[in-house]
Structure formats: structure tokens, C-alpha cells
Chain A
């Protein structure tokens, strides 16, 4: 039987770290991250066989690695076919899938009650710090996605549900639904009624959704000839790409149009960067702070932007592939190599988009 105790004890350590670092990000020093990362690597190497075989192949094992940056990262494509989890099947209560209509096989990230609780411990303080930094915001919450009951495998919807439960208990509001062809649709009339009520009572709103849902919202507003002036203190968080579900707008253009149609200052529009393979998220600004957009993960997540040519970390201002080391990915794999390109900055990174046609077409990782 798999011994889970070491993982649980790691989880306890990490929770302590998170609770300190949430208030004082700088309190998590390099050495502490290093030691947590190496300890977690040892656990994951021991417990997750497909990961171990990759590490052995690269000759990077707990015996040889002394810097977290050398811990082998698994490509996101590996999450599609390999079972990258140390959770026994009986404890897997939830599985998150990657989204995207073109994906034949989604990535899978298995969770238990305990891993979800670590996920939330990581999610909430960093979300609060960036999206609802005020102590008393009194927001009207509007998520444009369907609820988790309709999409139990969406980590994004789980996230939206978790933040609403934490910051607006009893008021979970989802304005999307699943259409017959499994696409997400917004119940526009209800959204608009809620926005109008909020405007009438001058209660600030918070809109949560994906980039393509916001494009749908903009199109509908345009068709109905509506422009709102949302109450002061209102904000919007968008995330993700378009995945062929709407026309594609460059982010700056999307933000400009949202700002115009909803009467929001640009500083009230935030981007989130996350993925089903992770347990933590990055935000590109703190709400109402108008400084340049730079994505930042919480201190228990470190990233390296690596040159796709050499695999070495790029200099500031240079583009490369984002490699993420998420300590909250306890029962999965902490080191994840994404297919996303970004520019490295001194504080955070700037996303450039996905590497083109990275995965071989029509090719399953494990097909013989």
C-alpha cells in the first residue's frame, strides 16, 4: 500500500509556508523554497513511476539534483496520457481536464479532498491579494461560466466556485450554461438584468470569465446597442485563450473594448494565468493598480523562462517557454513545462501565446 504520510506531512509544511508568505511574500526565502522543492521532488520521484522513468532517462534524480531549477519538468502533453498522480484511485474524488475544443484527449489532474484543500489554500490568498484587495468590497459576483455541476472537470469553474464561496458565501452566481453541443453559453438577459440592478443600487460588480466568453458578451452588448457604466469599484477578471470558440482579439483590444462597453478603467481589468495541471495561479496586476501588466505567481511557485533553443534560462527582456514549479502540486508533478511563450521581466512575465502546432497532429502519446 502506498505510504501517504510523507505527502501529508509535506502538505502541512506547505500550508504553514503559504500562510506566512500570503501576508509577507518576501518571507519565503530562496533557501526555504529550495528545500521544499527538493523534498517534494524526492517524494514525487519515489511515488510516480512515469515521472521517475523520465528523471532516470535524463539522469536527474534526487541523488544528483541540488537545485530546484534542475528538477526535471514534465511537458503538459504528458498529462494527457500518463497517470501522473500519487493518489490511490480510491481517494481520487475529482479530476480536472484541460479545456479546448480541438483537444482529442485532455490533460488530467487528479485530486482528493486533501489536495483540493491545498489547492484552495494556494488559490485564495493570492486571488484576494490581486482581485479583491479591499477588506470590505461588498461585490456583486457574476461568473459567466456554467456552474461546476454542469462541468465537474473544469478547474477554472472550480476556482470560480471556490472564490465565491470564500468571499461571497451563499451568493454563488453562475450565468452560463452548457448548450446541447457542449459549448458554454451565457444567459445574457440575466447578466444584463443583474448588471442593471447593480448600477441602480450602485453596488460594484465583479465579472469572472474566459476571454472567449467576454468576446461573446461584447458581441451581444453591441448587438443590443448597450453600453454600461458599472459602479465604481467594479472589476473584471478574464483568463485563457480563445480555443476557437470565438473570434480572436488581441488582449489589448479585448481590454479596450471591455473598458468602453462596461465603463471600467483599464486598471479594473485583470488577467489570470492558470491551467488544469497546476494548483496555483498568476495574475497580471493588482486590481486598480495601473502599473504595466506582468504576471506573477505566489511565492510558493517559481518559474523559469527557458530559451527554446538552448534550454537555458533567458535574460530579462528575452522570450522563452514558461516552466513552472508549483509546490502546491503535491500529489501530482510540481515541475511543469508549458507550451506558452513569455518574456521574462524582473518582476513577473508577459505572455506571448502558445508555441505553434506543438503537439504532433492526431498523435496520442502512448499509441503504439
Chain B
């Protein structure tokens, strides 16, 4: 597939970007926005998004085919992993879900189109509407495409011109999505720009930030601090720092009946995007004292990972990532040889998957790419004590608990500072209405205008 040169990211790698080029791109998009996007209705935008999403799910769609063909080389994900990720994401882009999102975030489905009033506003004899930033800039990180796709969708809903800066070598999938939008509706596509450069290029970034009205960024705390310090005061900044996630299985669930389902669910979370997202689990905690021993969960998880590797292989790794897994395995192999309550299961002659079982509750960062810790613990309080150094760095808990125990566990997690609790097996599939890191998705982007009616 030959993609036309619509975006800066389509240019050959040797093409050099300059500050004036970035400024020009921003100004063009802003003009296009006024002409083609600002006056479009929410329902119209939603219709276009749903059509694009539907096409992506069709097996013969050229963008999908290209993503699956070229993706393994470009992103390091195997075809099967990409296919699953694409389907999981686009399946959710439906009219109903997008309308729900707008209503949830803004209190009224028409809030982006016209002055409108929810129940509370009607009582106060007031209406309000919201407007998005003229130019929304995204500093996207890493190879996982869904955060980038979602950012572009949110920006279209707020009728913003958007400039997405991708990290070196990571623009492939966001770019394909942008091309698919362009193909569906060239006017919308003309309000989007994508480019790739290594973060910190001050000439390019200063030009970009000077035109921006709102900047979203994903990255390490240092990266976010550096970006924030360079933004003009009028620019709104939304930073999403690195987060980690874990699974939690309560003792009531550790029964012969539930175990196979739980293990399948956990495997789902581990293999989705090869565990590389902030929502992927590093550790699955299993409460001690159930019908079955927590170590059995680990053993069954290893079996399931092995089976899934045959159907949905993880794909090749770069030398450094493979070396990190191999070296970490060597460490646990020695530990397992000397401590009865440490066990190690792993793929033979490859680093495809690894399960470490430990009777030590401390949170451990996994080296990812399907390397999972299973740790047994007494109860939630024991875990929270150990997690204290990571407070505010945890995103998601994939919870497996009964209807009786779940509310108590969830409330405690929430009060402690965890921002998302979902069933085990759905960690990497947040709904569209998910509040990223506990922040509203659309509401953080927009500006409200309240109109107080003259009631005299």
C-alpha cells in the first residue's frame, strides 16, 4: 500500500523538519479547522468516526491489511496481537458509545453544538455549551496505538485542529488511522497533522507550542515536567505519567470451578499488546486461604500462556529486551533452586513467556513482554502497605472477587488512590468512557461558557 503524502510523518525519513515548517503546518490546520470542522455537528463527526471504525474491522480493509502486514516489522507486535488490539479498540467506536461519552463528560449530548441545559442547569435557569481548543497538540509516547487513536477521536469531537508528535519510529499506526480518516472525510483529515521526531528538539517544539492551545503528553514524570516548563502560560497542559497496574484475585474465587476462567482472563490481560501498556498487569496477586493454593494459579497461568503462544505468538524482541528477560529469569532460577516458595515457569528456547511465583508481597516491576509475577498474600491491607511507595502511580486493578467481597475491596482501593478497577481480563480494554488516570476525557479538553438567563 502506498500512502499519499498527507502528513509530515509520511515524508521520507531524510526530509528535515524545521520550525517554520511546523508553524506553517499549524496555521494551515487552524484555517482548515475554521472552514471544515468548527461548524460540524457532533452527530456528523460521530457518524464519520463510526464509519471509519467499522471499516477497520472489515478483514479486507486496506488500512487494516497494511497494519497487519507491515505492523510486525514497524511495531514489534505479532500479527495476531495487532489484530486483537485493532478489533478490541474499533469495536467500541459506536454511535451509542460515543454519545454516552459526550453525555457522561459534558452532561448533555448537544453540549458541543449549542447552549443546552441539564436538569441542574434548568433549575438554575442557566444553559451552557463547551468549545474545544483551536489547536490541540498531542505528545504521544511509545508503540501502543490505542492512546494515540483515542486522543485523535477526542480531539475531533471537540472540533480541534490536532498536531500529534510521535516518538521516533512510533507513528505507523496513528498515521494509518489518520489516513483512514482522511480517506473517509478529507476535510476532517485536513485538520490533523502527524510528525515524528525525538523528544526535546527545541526548535520544532517551540514552534509547535507557540501555536498550541492545549497540549496533552504521555511520558515519564521528567518528560512531562520538561514539556510543562516550556509551555506558554495560556496553554492548557494535560500530562499522563507512567502508571503500572496489577491483578487481584480474592480467596473466594480460588475454586475448581472459577480457576480456568480466571486464568484465561489473566492471560488475556498479559498478552494484550504484549503487556506493554500502563494498564497491563505487572503482578497478579492471589489471596491465600481459598480452596486452591495461589501457586496453582501460577502453574495454570503458565499452561495457558504456553497454549496462547502457539495461537498468538508474542513476536520477536530486540536484544536488550530479551536480555532483560533472560537475566531476570536467571535470577529467579537460582532463587527457585534454593527457596521452596519461589517457582519459575517459562517458555523453552525463547523468552516468549515467563511466570514467577513468589511468597513475597512487594510489588515488582515486570520486564514485560509477557513476563508476569504471581504473588500470594494474606489480604488487601498487606498489599496496600507494600504499595505505599507507589501510591498515585497505579492505574488499574483487574479484580476477581465475588459480589459480596468486591464492593469492599473496590472502595478500599479507590480511597487509597487507585483510579480504575475492572474485571480481570479487561485491563487493556477500558471502555470509551474511561477516565484516564482518574481525569475526565473530554471535559479536561474543553472550555465552558455559562449563559445565565435574565429571569426578570
Contacts and interface: CB of A to CB of B under 8 A. Distances in A.
Interface of A: 50, 53-54, 57, 74-75, 77-78, 82, 307-312, 319-321, 337, 339, 341, 352, 355-363, 365-368
A355 B325 CA distance: 9
B319 A339 contact: no
B320 A356 contact: yes
Given A78-B330, A310-B350, A355-B326, 14 more contacts: A50-B338, A53-B337, A54-B337, A319-B319, A321-B327, A337-B330, A341-B323, A355-B323, A356-B324, A358-B323, A358-B331, A359-B328, A363-B362, A366-B335
B359 A74 contact: no
B320 A57 contact: no
Contact of A308 (B325, B331, B333, B337): B325
Nearest to B364: A360
A332 B339 CA distance: 22
29 contacts: A57-B337, A75-B333, A82-B334, A308-B325, A308-B327, A308-B351, A309-B317, A310-B349, A320-B319, A321-B327, A337-B330, A341-B320, A341-B323, A355-B324, A355-B327, A356-B320, A357-B324, A357-B367, A358-B331, A359-B327, A359-B331, A360-B328, A360-B365, A361-B365, A362-B362, A363-B331, A365-B331, A365-B335, A367-B360
B349 A54 contact: no
A366 B322 contact: no
Give the size category of B's interface with A. Answer: 20 to 34
B85 interface: no
A57 B337 CA distance: 7
Contact of B327 (A75, A82, A319, A365): A75
A363 B316 CA distance: 28
Nearest to B349: A310
A361 B322 contact: no
A321 B360 CA distance: 29
A82 B338 contact: yes
Nearest to A310: B349
Contacts of B338: 50, 53, 82, 366
B125 interface: no
Contacts of A311: 326, 349
B351 A78 contact: no
B185 interface: no
B319 A341 contact: yes
A116 B161 CA distance: 70
Given A308-B319, A355-B324, A356-B320, A365 B334 contact: yes
B341 interface: yes
Report whether over half of chain B's contact residues are helix, strand or loop; otherwise say mixed: helix
5 cross-chain pairs, A with B, having the tightest CB-CB distances, nearest first: A355-B323, A358-B327, A75-B330, A308-B322, A308-B323
Interface in B291-335: 316-317, 319-320, 322-328, 330-331, 333-335
Contacts of A341: 319-320, 323
Contacts of A357: 324, 365, 367
B369 to A, nearest CB: 11
Q: Which of B327, B328, B339 has the most CB of A within 10 A?
A: B327
Contacts of A310: 349-350
Nearest to B373: A360
Q: Which of A75, A309, A358, A359 has the most CB of B within 10 A?
A: A309
Nearest to B352: A309
A309 B322 CA distance: 5
Nearest to A357: B324
Contacts of B319: 308, 319-320, 341, 352
Contacts of B359: 368
Given A341-B320, A365-B334, A308 B339 contact: no
B365 A77 contact: no
Contacts of B365: 357, 360-361
A104 to B, nearest CB: 14
A303 B335 CA distance: 25
Given A53-B337, A310-B350, A363 B364 contact: yes
A309 B339 contact: no
A358 B337 contact: no
A321 B331 contact: no
A61 B16 CA distance: 59
Contacts of A309: 316-317, 322, 326, 350-351
B334 A54 contact: yes
Nearest to A320: B319
B334 A308 contact: no
A366 B358 CA distance: 12
A362 B338 CA distance: 19
Q: Which of B316, B337, B349 has the most CB of A within 10 A?
A: B337
A179 B337 CA distance: 40
Contacts of B341: 368
